[in-house]
C-alpha cells in the first residue's frame, strides 16, 4: 500500500491550498475532513502528477501516512484544534509530529506541547502567512517546536515555502510556542503598517481633498521605491478597483469604516504589556480598529466637536515629505515588533535568531517589504542588536528622514486628521533616543503618595523622602 509523505487535517481553503502546493512539489499527501464533500472533491482537483487522497476517517488517514507521521492541522484556532488532536490521538504513535498551522494563541500551544510530549508526540505551533494565495503558491511559515523533530518536516516545508534569492521563507524558529509567538508579532506589525497606510490615505483624501486616482499613483510609485512592500502594493490595487454595484467611483468609497479583527493584534499588545515590551505603534493600531467600531458616537461627535483648519502646509510640500515620513514610521514599527521578539525570546527562552526571522519575512508573508533585507543585514552584523534603531545604517536613514516625519505629523494635527500610529512612531523615536526621560518625576510622585521609594542617579541605594 502507498505510504503518504504528509497529512493535512482540515480541508478548508488554507488546508486544501497547502495540500495542493505540497502535491505540486511531488509529495504525496493525505487529507482528512469530517465533511465528506470536502474530502471527496479533493481528489477531483488533483492533476495527474498529484498523489493525494481525501478521507473522513481519522483511522484511515493515520494509517495512510509514513511513520513517524507528519500531520498538519489547518482548523480554526481554539477548541477545534483540541478536538482535531483528540480525534487523531488513538491512532498516533510515539515519534509522530503534529503541526498546528493556525493562528493559535501561544499559551495554548505551550499546553499542547506539554500534553502531547507525555505521549511521545512532538507538537509544533506554526504561523503561516500569505493568505489563500500564499498557501497555494508559497507562504512564509514560522514553525516552533522540537528541533530534532523538525527534520521530519524540513524537506516538505522548504519545498512549499515562498523563496527569496532561492532561500525558503521558512526556518526552525525555536522551541515550544516560538513559531506562534513570531506569527503573533508579525500580525501586530501587520496591523500597524495597515493603519499607517490608512492614515496617509486619510490625510490626502480628507485633509487635502486629493482625488482617489492621484492617491493611487502615489502608492504605485512607492511600490517601486525603498517603500516597496506587499501592503503598499495591494493598497495601490484597492485604490483602482471600480465599484461594480453603482458604477460610480471606486469600491473603497462604499466600504463601511468599522474595522474587524480576529484577535492576533490584541494578543500582541496584551503580551507586550506582560513582558514590558514597548510597542506603542502596534497598540495604537489595535485601538484605532476599536475606535472605528463606535460609528454612531463618531457621527454624533462629528456634528458637535468642530475644528477649523489652520494648516499652512501645501499639498505639494506634504506629498514630497510623505515619502520620507512613511519610511521613518515604517522602520519604527518594525523596530518595535522585532524588539518585542528579542524581549520575548529572553522571557520565554525561545532562542530566536532575529536574522532568520527577518529572512523568512522577506517573502510570502503579509508584511514582506524591501526593508526586511536591510533588517536581515543589521542582525547579521550584530546578532544581539536590542533594537533596529541602534543599527548604524538604519539610524542614519532615520536621522535624515525625521524632519519630514515631524512635519507630516504636525500637518495631521493641524488638519484634525487622526494619526495615532504616525504620531506614536515619532514619540517612540524621541523616547528611545532620549538620554533623560521625565520619569524621575513619576518616581517622585510614587514615593510622595505611596512611599514606593526611588533610586538616585548620583549614588547607590534605595531612598524614601517625607515630602510634606
Ligand atoms: C497572514 C494574516 C492572517 C490574518 C488575517 C486577518 O499573515 O496571512 O496575518 O493570518 O489572520 O489577515 O487578521 P485580522 O482579522 O486580525 O485582521
User: Which residues does the annotation mark as catalytic?
Assistant: 183, 190
262 lines ligand 1 (CB under 6 A): yes
Statement to judge: residues 55 and 155 lie in one domain: yes
Cα separation, 13 vs 21, in Å, equals 12
- For residue 100, give the CATH number of its domain: 3.40.50.720
Statement to judge: residues 373 and 465 lie in one domain: no
Closest CA to ligand 1's atom 4: 187
DSSP string, 271-292: HHHHHT---HHHHHHHHHHHHH
Q: Does 48 reside within a domain? A: yes
- For residue 197, give the CATH number of its domain: 1.10.1040.10
Q: Residue 452, annotated ligand binder?
A: yes
261 lines ligand 1 (CB under 6 A): yes
Q: Residue 50, annotated ligand binder?
A: no
Of 160, 176, 192, the residue at which a domain comes to its end is 176
Q: Does 155 reside within a domain? A: yes
Distance spanning both ends of the chain, measured CA to CA: 86
- For residue 451, give the CATH number of its domain: 1.20.5.320
| Cα–chain center distance at 114 | 26
Ligand 1 atom showing the smallest separation from residue 265 Cα = 16
Number of domains in the chain: 3
pLDDT in tens, 25-79: 999 999 999 999 998 888 888 888 889 999 999 999 999 999 999 999 999 999 9
Statement to judge: residues 352 and 464 lie in one domain: no
Provide CB contacts within 8 A for 67, sequence distance 6+. 93, 95, 96
Q: Does 417 reside within a domain? A: yes
Q: Does 1 reside within a domain? A: no
User: How close is the Cα of 163 to the center of ligand 1, in Å?
Assistant: 21
Closest CA to ligand 1's atom 7: 129
Of 176, 195, 220, the residue at which a domain comes to its end is 176
Strands, DSSP E only, in 131-288?
140-144, 163-164, 167-168
Statement to judge: residues 454 and 329 lie in one domain: no
Provide CB contacts within 8 A for 192, sequence distance 6+. 281, 282, 284, 285, 333, 336, 337, 421
187 lines ligand 1 (CB under 6 A): yes
Q: Which of 131, 142, 189, 365 to mutate to test the pocket of ligand 1 (most atoms within 8 A of CB)?
A: 131
Q: Does 150 reside within a domain? A: yes
Q: Residue 131, annotated ligand binder?
A: yes
Statement to judge: residues 211 and 142 lie in one domain: no
Statement to judge: residues 295 and 417 lie in one domain: yes
Provide CB contacts within 8 A for 415, sequence distance 6+. 203, 206, 207, 208, 309, 311
Statement to judge: residues 120 and 34 lie in one domain: yes
Ligand 1 atom showing the smallest separation from residue 263 Cα = 16
264 lines ligand 1 (CB under 6 A): yes
Statement to judge: residues 157 and 282 lie in one domain: no
User: How close is the Cα of 127 to the center of ligand 1, in Å?
Assistant: 10
Statement to judge: residues 74 and 137 lie in one domain: yes
Structural domain including 213 reads: 183-432
Statement to judge: residues 214 and 300 lie in one domain: yes
Statement to judge: residues 69 and 163 lie in one domain: yes
Of 176, 196, 217, the residue at which a domain comes to its end is 176
Statement to judge: residues 97 and 67 lie in one domain: yes
How does pLDDT run along the chain (468 residues), one tens digit per residue? Answer: 679 999 999 999 999 999 999 999 999 999 999 999 998 888 888 888 889 999 999 999 999 999 999 999 999 999 999 999 999 999 999 999 999 999 999 999 999 999 999 999 999 999 999 999 999 999 999 999 999 999 999 999 999 999 999 999 999 999 999 999 999 999 999 999 999 999 999 999 999 999 999 999 999 999 999 999 999 999 999 999 999 999 999 999 999 999 999 999 999 999 999 999 999 999 999 999 999 999 999 999 999 999 998 888 898 999 999 999 999 999 999 999 999 999 999 999 999 999 999 999 999 999 999 999 999 999 999 999 999 999 999 999 999 999 999 999 999 999 999 999 999 999 999 999 999 999 999 999 999 999 999 999 999 999 999 999
Q: Residue 191, annotated ligand binder?
A: yes
Q: Does 74 reside within a domain? A: yes
Amino acid at each position: 500500500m502507498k505510504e503518504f509523505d504528509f497529512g493535512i487535517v482540515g480541508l478548508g481553503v488554507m488546508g486544501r491550498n497547502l495540500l495542493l502546493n505540497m502535491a505540486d512539489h511531488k509529495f504525496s499527501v493525505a487529507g482528512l475532513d469530517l465533511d465528506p464533500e470536502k474530502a471527496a472533491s479533493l481528489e477531483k482537483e488533483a492533476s495527474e502528477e498529484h498523489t493525494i487522497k481525501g478521507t473522513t476517517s481519522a483511522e484511515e488517514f493515520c494509517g495512510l501516512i509514513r511513520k513517524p507521521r507528519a500531520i498538519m492541522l489547518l482548523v480554526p484556532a481554539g477548541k477545534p484544534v483540541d478536538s482535531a488532536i483528540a480525534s487523531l490521538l488513538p491512532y498516533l504513535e510515539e515519534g509522530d509530529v503534529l503541526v498546528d498551522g493556525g493562528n493559535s494563541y501561544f499559551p495554548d500551544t505551550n499546553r499542547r506541547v506539554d500534553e502531547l510530549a507525555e505521549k511521545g508526540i512532538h507538537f509544533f505551533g506554526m504561523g503561516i502567512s500569505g493568505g489563500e494565495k500564499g498557501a497555494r503558491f508559497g507562504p512564509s511559515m514560522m514553525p516552533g517546536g522540537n528541533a530534532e523533530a523538525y527534520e521530519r518536516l524540513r524537506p516538505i516545508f522548504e519545498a512549499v515555502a515562498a523563496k527569496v534569492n532561492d532561500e525558503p521563507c521558512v526556518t526552525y524558529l525555536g522551541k515550544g510556542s516560538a513559531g506562534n509567538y513570531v506569527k503573533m508579532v508579525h500580525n501586530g506589525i501587520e496591523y500597524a503598517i495597515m493603519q499607517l497606510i490608512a492614515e496617509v490615505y486619510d490625510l490626502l483624501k480628507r485633509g487635502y481633498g486629493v482625488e482617489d486616482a492621484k492617491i493611487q499613483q502615489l502608492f504605485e510609485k512607492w511600490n517601486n521605491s525603498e517603500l516597496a512592500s506587499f501592503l503598499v502594493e495591494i493598497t495601490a490595487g484597492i485604490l483602482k478597483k471600480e465599484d461594480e454595484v453603482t458604477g460610480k467611483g471606486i469600491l473603497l468609497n462604499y466600504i463601511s469604516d468599522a474595522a474587524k479583527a480576529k484577535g492576533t493584534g490584541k494578543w500582541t499588545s496584551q503580551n507586550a504589556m506582560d513582558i514590558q515590551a514597548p510597542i506603542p505603534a502596534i497598540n495604537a493600531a489595535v485601538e484605532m480598529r476599536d475606535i472605528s467600531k463606535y460609528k454612531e458616537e463618531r457621527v454624533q461627535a462629528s456634528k458637535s466637536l468642530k475644528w477649523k483648519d489652520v494648516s499652512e502646509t501645501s499639498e505639494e510640500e506634504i506629498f514630497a515629505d510623505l515619502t520620507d515620513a512613511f519610511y521613518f514610521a515604517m522602520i519604527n514599527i518594525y523596530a518595535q515588533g522585532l524588539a518585542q521578539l528579542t524581549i520575548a525570546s529572553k522571557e520565554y527562552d525561545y532562542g530566536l535568531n532575529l536574522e532568520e526571522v527577518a529572512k523568512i519575512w522577506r517573502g510570502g508573508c503579509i508584511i514582506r517589504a524591501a526593508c526586511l533585507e536591510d533588517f536581515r543585514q543589521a542582525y547579521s552584523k550584530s546578532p544581539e542588536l536590542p533594537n533596529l534603531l541602534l543599527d548604524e545604517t538604519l539610524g542614519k536613514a532615520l536621522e535624515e528622514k525625521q524632519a519630514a516625519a515631524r512635519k507630516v505629523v504636525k500637518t495631521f494635527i493641524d488638519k484634525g486628521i487622526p494619526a495615532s500610529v504616525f504620531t506614536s512612531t515619532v514619540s517612540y523615536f524621541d523616547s528611545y533616543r532620549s538620554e533623560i526621560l521625565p520619569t524621575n518625576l513619576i518616581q517622585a510622585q510614587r514615593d510622595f503618595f505611596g512611599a514606593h521609594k526611588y533610586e538616585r542617579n548620583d549614588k547607590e541605594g534605595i531612598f524614601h523622602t517625607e515630602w510634606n
